[in-house]
Structure 1
Amino acid sequence: MMIIIFGAFLMLIGNIFALFNKNMFKKLHYLSAGDTGGGILILIGLLIRGFQIEKILVALLIMLIGMPAVTYFISISFVRKDKR
């Protein structure tokens, strides 16, 4: 249960830091780190509690690969937009 609470707290902290920061790249970093780390901790907590293992492992794999990739593509689009 503590892992799930810590994951939710990590997500909240990342969102608060992103809210009060002016730089768009730092906002993306805080959101990506907080949501990825928090989501992974929440899924690990659910895995420990005995929820459906197969579905949680698939969601964990998607989060590990998908969330940083989406953040990377968003940041690349910002860089390319600034060069025009």
Structure 2
Amino acid sequence: MVGEEISRELGGSVLVANVQALASSYSGDVPLRYLRPELHAEEVLVDESLPIPTIDMRKLFVDDDEMGKLHLACKEWGFFQI
């Protein structure tokens, strides 16, 4: 099966007695079995001049502008300050 071939290429489970045993054997380097050089991370552009949106919760039910700010904060940023 194709799925089995892919999982063999990526490696199987690591057999350890428990999580503590795995943690105690950690050398500080990521094991090669977990590295995926064929996957390239996308470059993240950071514009520190853009302020994180701030939402006034008291205005949400009385001010359509504040509701619009909340909508844009969720859509464009994924988070906001209260």
> Higher RCO, 1 or 2 (CA under 8 Å, sep at least 6)?
1
Above 0.5 in TM-score?
Answer: no
Please identify the structure whose Cα radius of gyration is greater.
2
TM-score, normalised with respect to structure 1: 0.25
Judging by fraction of residues, say which structure has more helix.
1
TM-score (norm 2): 0.25
